[in-house]
Amino acid sequence: MHDDSNQRVGHGQPGSGEETPLNTHCVVGDEHDRPSDRCEDQARPMVTSARRQLTVVELLKYLASHLAFLFSPDGYRIVDSQVSPSFGGDAMIVLESSLVRMRLTWDRAQLLMEFQPINGRPSEWFSPGLLHGLLTGERPSSEVLDRRWAKFLASGLPELERRLKDPDEAERTITELRQQARLRARELFG
């Protein structure tokens, strides 16, 4: 196994002050990868089996950098986490508030999120794009988490929780999220 301790994860060129999107990590084979194995874009770090355990770290970095507002005294708490070596290393962190359960997933080098009402159907999860569609009337094409999503979630999640506190509005909100899901499916699959 080669030493990849100098490779950066989630950052732009040294001194540039830029961050690369969280979904630009190149994944290469196994612990037998050689230093000559490189991604198409030399600025992108390789993720080897020695780095797979760092996928939870990527989730935590995103939480700390972009979603720290979730951890207010009455806010969210981490209730579960999982790590898998498949596909270059996948990971999941589950957060809960008194009203919403949220899964942040590092899947195939992309950071994604789903949420559900605590009192909702256990198998029914909604994406932030559906919430965006509900609150703004527009569903973005990409749901890979980045700074823009964090900015939206800073206002969108409190609005979702406000709506879920009132039982009548909660049922209406869930119905509207389901409608957003049907519209998205129709747009994607006809």
Contact call for residues 129 and 115 (beta carbons, < 8 A): no
How many domains does the structure of the chain reveal?
A: 1
The structure tokens listed for 161 are 């929780």
pLDDT of 18 strictly over 90: no
Residue 48 within a domain: no
* pLDDT-above-70 percentage for the chain: 69
Residue 19 amino acid letter: E
Contacts (Cβ under 8 Å, ≥6 apart) of 40: 26
Residue 18 within a domain: no
Contacts (Cβ under 8 Å, ≥6 apart) of 189: none
Residue 34 within a domain: no
Q: In which band, very low, low, confident or very high, does the pLDDT at 89 lie, cut at 50, 70 and 90?
A: low
Whether the full predicted model's pTM is greater than 0.75, yes or no, is no
Residue 71 within a domain: yes
Residue 17 within a domain: no
30's enclosing H/E stretch is none
Q: Summarize pLDDT for 100-130 with one digit per residue, the tens.
A: 999 999 887 789 999 999 988 999 999 999 9
Residue 95 within a domain: yes
Q: Domain limits at 67?
A: 54-189
Residue 41 within a domain: no
Mean pLDDT, rounded, of the chain: 76
How far, in Å, CA of 23 to CA of 59, rounded? 12
Higher pLDDT, 154 or 12: 154
Higher pLDDT, 17 or 179: 179
Contact call for residues 23 and 113 (beta carbons, < 8 A): no
Residue 31 within a domain: no
Q: Can you give the pLDDT at residue 54?
A: 60
Sign of CA dihedral 23, 28, 44, 91: positive
